[in-house]
Copies of this chain bind each other. A is one copy, B any other.
Amino acid sequence: MASGMELALMEARYAAERGEVPVGAVVLGPDGAVLAQAGNRVEELNDPSAHAEMLVMRAALQARGGQRLADCTLVVTLEPCPMCAAALAHFRVGRVLFGAYDPKGGGVEHGARLPFRAEALHRPEIIGGVRERESAALLKSFFQNLRQPGAGEESGRGG
């Protein structure tokens, strides 16, 4: 069976094929079963908030009909941005595994470090750097292709 991070990496690759910044995410239930999986759909949905994490947390709640994700694990290929980092608390996500660190755009281990702030409503268990190199390589290759003239359509998740 594919691991959560393998599925998230697959979603990231699909996202790149759609011209989206390659980030993928999966929510696993308490028994490790996949509740939802999603990739970035910012361009497709014309929605700057349609990050993989937001889509997959929403889909996981719909899938289980529950109220929160306290017994679940969110697996995502990139360190969540501040919007997604704050949403982790709203969804009461129990555990987060992420791939590449994002020193510029991250909001978990970088920047505002929202889950670690005193006023945070909820703090998930957080494990970063899981298969970091594969996640980072996908992103690097995507942005290198964008910079080569004629190598693809101009994108821009815009942070």
Residues of A in contact with B (beta carbons under 8 Å apart): 46-49, 54, 57-58, 61-62, 65, 67-68, 81-83, 85-87, 89-92, 104-105, 107, 110-112, 114, 117, 119, 121-122, 158-159
Contacts and interface: CB of A to CB of B under 8 A. Distances in A.
B46 A158 contact: no
Contacts of A117: 111-112
A65 B46 contact: yes
Given A46-B62, A48-B87, 20 more contacts: A46-B61, A46-B65, A47-B61, A48-B91, A49-B87, A49-B90, A49-B91, A81-B86, A81-B90, A82-B82, A82-B86, A82-B112, A82-B114, A90-B159, A110-B119, A111-B117, A111-B119, A112-B114, A121-B158, A122-B159
